[in-house]
């Protein structure tokens, strides 16, 4: 089990968090995603280390950016 923490900018509500969560959950190996809108903190649990480019692509697909 691996945990990755990133900061996402531009989220303002629970809908934003849901969009980010849904995109990240599609990355192979991801087992959980916790999003804190106020801080922009996103904690991702996975079965193995994740590729940073895959995380960035998922966040971008949701309409946001990594800090």
Whole-number pLDDT of residue 52: 95
Is there a contact between 58 and 51 (Cβ–Cβ < 8 Å)? Answer: no
**pLDDT 10s digits, 11-59:** 999 999 999 999 999 999 999 999 999 999 999 999 999 999 999 999 9
pLDDT at res. 63: 97
Q: Domains in the chain, start-ordered, CATH in brackets?
A: 2-66 (3.30.70.100)
User: Of 25, 16, 11, 15, whose CA–CA distance to 58 is shortest?
Assistant: 25
**Under DSSP, is residue 43 helix (H, G, I), strand (E, B) or coil?**
strand
Q: In what order do the strands lie in the sheet with 41-46?
A: 30-36, 41-46, 2-9, 65-66
pTM: 0.94
């Amino acid at each position: 089990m691996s945990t990755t923490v990133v900061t996402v900018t531009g989220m303002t509500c629970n809908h934003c968090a849901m969009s980010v969560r849904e995109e990240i959950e599609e990355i192979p190996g991801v087992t959980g995603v916790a999003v804190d809108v106020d801080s922009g903190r996103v904690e991702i649990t996975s079965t193995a280390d994740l590729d940073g480019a895959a995380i960035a692509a998922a966040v971008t697909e949701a309409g946001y950016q990594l800090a």
